[in-house]
């Protein structure tokens, strides 16, 4: 049960279920091209939502378990679960989940009698799964146990690694799938834990066997640990983009046939996505490649299985989606954005290969598209409809996991004036990304417990949300959306959407900053 009591008869709580009636309001806009006038027609639609309040026992399988993100995630989980404090040069550090929206942020639920905003922990609104209760496992092309993986990653303080060493050593990745054509050649020496290989020769004609292998791994993990559901999350190497080919990966049927025929454009991440969908496990793609090709989306629709993608949005890109929005909303016209990164972890090593870098470049560059499209005054046929957007990523081993990001925003002001904003940002990459893994898992699991029906149709039955969980766009650089709908990258819009949805489910009105209490007599 929620720790918040709401005086709203539309939200009804029982021991196992929350049922809420919600009126969704929006406005349909049409434009007359002849006179450039807009016609706005407000509309509303009534829904009933049902939330299963019991998450059950949840398992998480990480693809890339022995990588920086995977090993750091497990270490954070163990430190918090077992309340392991450690000492560094600044003193004693208690375990926490700083950087996680679900665990370390708050949400406004209203105002008090004097008009002051009232905030509560984000995870107090609805019953999320407790991160300490997750059962974690996964795959990796490298066989290092997580004690050795943490030492290799050089992310965590040595004192913490020593305290967790015995527990970390128990985590050993299952053999993973490895298609050399999709990952940088510099990863070859790392690949010593590969399924269905002899002398590092991979049977690429037997990709359906790989799907079966991953499905069996999911089943065995679920049965062995007595789990109610399993979530699969890709936090492994960035792959090159897959070519979208008619008759190969454009439909579910074609994709399955392409897998069975060992087609070269089926990536290992797509194998994991297909296996997850067929096992009705949520699949989350935390890397920038186009894992979720049209055939995967079609398969998810057919099986009513949830998918989430693409690419963790942790530092530079998240800031970009805020600053670009600020400039455009202020009527200032950004004309160029130059973004430079250098980092020395294995992600950077993999991205030093051009094709893998290109995947990252695409996901990072699209983050301002909807912001530009929102302002036809600043971006039009006369002035131009695009920003000159350049992205550079360089591998520098010496800096390790401390990624350096340099950005310059060059903007046009009134009467030919210009504004230049330069930003330098140094962050510990994996310690920013790991909390995103946690949030994506926790919120996607919660959304999987929601069903709804339209109250306008007396014959409507409760059904699950659409398979692409667009509510999770806040945590992703290139959020996947339903075909034909606009992708939203503006960070404030993304955060507001998930906050308002959670509040509506428990009967709290959506965010309103009119503040009539202050402004009217």
On whether both 488 and 350 belong to a single domain, the answer is no
Q: Tell me the C-alpha distance between 339 and 357, whole Å.
A: 14
Report d(CA 511, CA 498) in Å as an integer: 11
Same domain, yes or no, for 177 and 222?
A: yes
The predicted structure's pLDDT at residue 8: 92
Task: Report in angstroms the alpha-carbon separations of 43 from 22, 37, 65, 484.
Answer: 14, 19, 47, 21
pLDDT of residue 4: 84
Asked whether residue 5 is assigned to any structural domain, the reply reads: no
Per-residue pLDDT at 85 exceeds 70: yes
Residues 6+ apart with CB under 8 A from 433: 69, 235, 286, 312, 314
What is the Cα–Cα distance from 447 to 441, expressed in whole angstroms?
10
The total number of residues shown for the chain amounts to: 521
The yes-or-no answer on residue 503 being catalytic is: no
CA atoms within 13 A on the CB side of 286: 29
Q: Is residue 160 part of a domain?
A: yes
- Looking up residue 253, the CATH number of its domain turns out to be 3.40.50.720
SS3 157: coil
- Residues 199, 235 share a domain: yes
Q: Which of the residues 140, 217, 310, 311 is marked catalytic?
A: 311
- In this structure, is the dihedral angle defined by the CA atoms of residues 253, 254, 259 and 265, taken in order, positive or negative? negative
Q: What is the CATH number of the domain that holds 31?
A: 3.30.2360.10
Looking at the structure, tell me whether residues 382 and 489 fall in a common domain: no
Say yes or no to pLDDT of 201 above 90: no
Range of the domain at 380: 316-429
CA pair distance 156, 513, nearest whole angstrom: 41
The answer to whether position 108 is within a domain reads no
The pLDDT of residue 470 is 93
Q: Is 52 exposed, middle or buried (0-12, 13-18, 19+ CB in 10 A)?
A: middle
Across 480-484, average pLDDT: 90
- Decide if 521 is inside a domain: no
Identify the pLDDT of residue 350.
63
Based on the domain organization, do 282 and 145 belong to the same domain? yes
pLDDT digits (tens, 9 = 90+) for 104-148: 999 999 999 888 999 999 999 999 999 999 999 999 999 999 999
If asked whether residues 402 and 458 sit together in one domain, one would say no
Q: What is the pLDDT of residue 308?
A: 97
Residue 50 — φ and ψ, nearest 5°? -130, 130
* Short-list 1, 19, 14, CA closest to 504: 19
pLDDT in tens, 413-435: 999 999 999 998 888 888 989 99
Instruction: Examine the pLDDT at 475 and tell me if it is beyond 50.
Output: yes
Q: Answer yes or no: is 41 within a domain.
A: yes
In a domain, 103, yes or no: no
Q: What is the pLDDT of residue 328?
A: 93
Average pLDDT over residues 219-235: 98
Average pLDDT over residues 175-197: 86
pLDDT-above-90 percentage for the chain: 68
DSSP 8-state secondary structure symbol assigned to residue 181: T
pLDDT digits (tens, 9 = 90+) for 251-298: 999 999 999 999 999 999 999 999 999 999 999 999 989 999 999 999
Quick one: pLDDT band at residue 214, thresholds 50, 70, 90?
A: very high
Do residues 336 and 357 both lie within one domain? Answer: yes
Mean pLDDT of the chain: 91
- Please give the Cα distance from 505 to 250 (Å, whole number): 36
Same domain, 250 and 284: yes
Predicted confidence band of residue 1 (pLDDT cuts 50, 70, 90): low
pLDDT digits (tens, 9 = 90+) for 353-369: 566 656 556 656 678 88
Choice among 403, 407, 439, 503 that is catalytic: 403
Q: Taking 90 as the threshold, does the pLDDT of residue 30 lie above it?
A: yes
Question: Is 403 a residue of the active site?
Answer: yes
386 is catalytic: no
The answer to whether 423 touches 318, Cβ cutoff 8 Å, is no
pLDDT at 92: 95
Q: Going edge to edge, which strands form the sheet with 450-454?
A: 11-13, 17-32, 37-52, 450-454, 463-464
Q: How far apart are CA 462 and CA 384, in angstroms?
A: 46
pLDDT at 356: 61
Whether 154 is a known active-site residue: answer: no
Q: What is the pLDDT of residue 185?
A: 79
Mean pLDDT, range 243-250, rounded to an integer:
94
Q: How many CB atoms lie within 10 A of CB 134?
A: 21
Q: Considering the candidates 360, 401, 407, 503, report the single residue annotated as catalytic.
A: 360
How far is it, in rounded angstroms, from Cα 390 to Cα 393?
10
Report which of residues 467 and 199 the model is more confident about: 467
pLDDT of residue 146: 97
**455: pLDDT confidence band, cut at 50, 70 and 90?**
very high
Q: Which of 412, 429, 446 is the last residue of a domain?
A: 429
In the prediction, which pLDDT does 512 show? 85
pTM above 0.85, yes or no: yes
- In this predicted structure, what is the pLDDT of residue 398? 84
Q: Domain boundary at 247, 281, 309, which? A: 309
Q: Is residue 472 located within the same domain as residue 511? A: yes
DSSP structure class, residue 506: T
Q: Are residues 82 and 217 in the same domain?
A: yes
The residue among 380, 407, 429 that closes a domain is: 429
pLDDT for the residue 321: 84
Neighbour-count burial for 390-407, b at 16+ CB within 10 Å, e otherwise: ebebebeeebbbbbbbbb
**164 & 181 share domain:** yes
Same domain, 394 and 413: yes
Distance CA 230, CA 234 (A): 13
262 domain-assigned: yes
Name the domain count of the chain: 3
- Backbone dihedral angles phi then psi of residue 392, each to the nearest 5 degrees: -130, 130
| pLDDT at 5 > cutoff 70 | yes
The alpha carbon torsion through 64, 66, 68, 71 (nearest 10 deg) reads 110
200 has a pLDDT exceeding 50? no
- CATH, residue 329: 3.30.360.10
In a domain, 81, yes or no: yes
Query: Do residues 452 and 119 lie in contact, with contact meaning Cβ atoms separated by under 8 Å?
Result: no
Q: What are all long-range contacts of 296-303, with beta carbons under 8 Å and residues at least 24 apart?
A: 296/249, 296/252, 296/255, 296/270, 297/467, 297/468, 297/480, 297/483, 298/251, 298/252, 298/255, 299/252, 299/255, 299/256, 299/274, 300/467, 300/468, 301/252, 301/467, 302/252, 303/277, 303/278
Q: What percent of the chain has pLDDT over 70?
A: 94
């Amino acid at each position: 049960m929620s720790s918040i009591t709401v005086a709203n008869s539309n939200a009804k709580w029982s021991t196992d279920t929350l049922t809420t009636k919600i009126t969704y309001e929006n406005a349909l806009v049409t434009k007359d091209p002849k006179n450039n006038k807009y016609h706005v027609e407000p509309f509303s639609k009534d829904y009933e939502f049902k939330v299963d309040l019991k998450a059950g026992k949840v398992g998480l399988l990480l693809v890339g378990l022995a990588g920086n993100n995977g090993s750091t995630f497990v270490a954070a989980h163990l430190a918090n679960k077992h309340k392991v404090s450690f000492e560094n040069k600044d003193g004693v550090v208690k375990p926490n989940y700083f950087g996680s929206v679900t665990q370390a942020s708050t949400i406004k639920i209203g105002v008090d009698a004097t008009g002051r905003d009232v905030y509560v922990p984000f995870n107090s609104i609805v019953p999320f799964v407790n991160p300490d209760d997750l059962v974690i496992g996964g795959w990796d092309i490298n066989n290092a146990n997580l004690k050795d993986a943490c030492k290799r990653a050089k992310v965590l303080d040595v004192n913490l690694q020593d305290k967790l060493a015995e527990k970390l050593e128990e985590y050993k990745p299952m053999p993973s799938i490895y298609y050399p054509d999709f990952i940088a050649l510099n990863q070859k020496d790392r690949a010593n834990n590969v399924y269905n290989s002899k002398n590092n020769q991979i049977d690429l004609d037997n990709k359906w066997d790989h799907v079966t292998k991953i499905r069996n791994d999911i089943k065995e993990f679920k049965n062995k640990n007595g789990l109610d559901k399993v979530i699969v999350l890709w936090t492994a190497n960035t792959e090159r983009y897959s070519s979208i080919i008619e008759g190969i990966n454009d439909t579910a049927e074609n994709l399955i046939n392409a897998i069975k025929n060992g087609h070269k454009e089926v990536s290992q991440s797509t194998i994991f996505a297909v296996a997850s969908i067929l096992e009705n496990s949520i699949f989350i793609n935390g890397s920038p490649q186009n894992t979720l090709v049209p055939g995967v989306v079609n398969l998810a629709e057919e099986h009513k299985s949830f998918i989430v993608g693409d690419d963790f949005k942790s530092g530079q890109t998240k800031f970009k989606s805020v600053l670009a929005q600020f400039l455009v909303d202020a009527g200032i016209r950004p004309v160029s954005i130059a973004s430079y990164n250098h980092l020395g972890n294995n992600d950077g090593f993999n991205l030093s290969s051009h094709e893998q870098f290109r995947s990252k470049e695409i996901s990072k560059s699209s983050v301002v598209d909807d912001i530009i499209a929102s302002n036809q005054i600043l971006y039009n046929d006369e002035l131009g409809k695009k920003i000159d957007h350049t992205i550079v990523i360089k591998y520098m081993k010496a800096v390790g996991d401390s990624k350096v990001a340099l950005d310059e925003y060059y903007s046009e002001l009134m009467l030919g004036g210009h504004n230049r904003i330069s930003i330098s940002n140094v962050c510990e990459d994996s310690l920013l990304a790991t909390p995103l893994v946690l949030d994506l898992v926790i919120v996607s699991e919660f959304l999987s417990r929601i069903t709804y029906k339209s109250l306008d149709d007396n014959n409507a039955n409760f059904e699950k949300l659409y398979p692409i969980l667009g509510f999770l766009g806040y945590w992703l650089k290139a959020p996947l959306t339903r075909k034909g709908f606009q992708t939203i990258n503006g960070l404030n819009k993304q955060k507001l959407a998930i906050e308002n949805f959670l509040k509506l489910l428990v009967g709290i009105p959506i965010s309103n900053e009119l503040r009539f209490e202050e402004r009217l007599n």
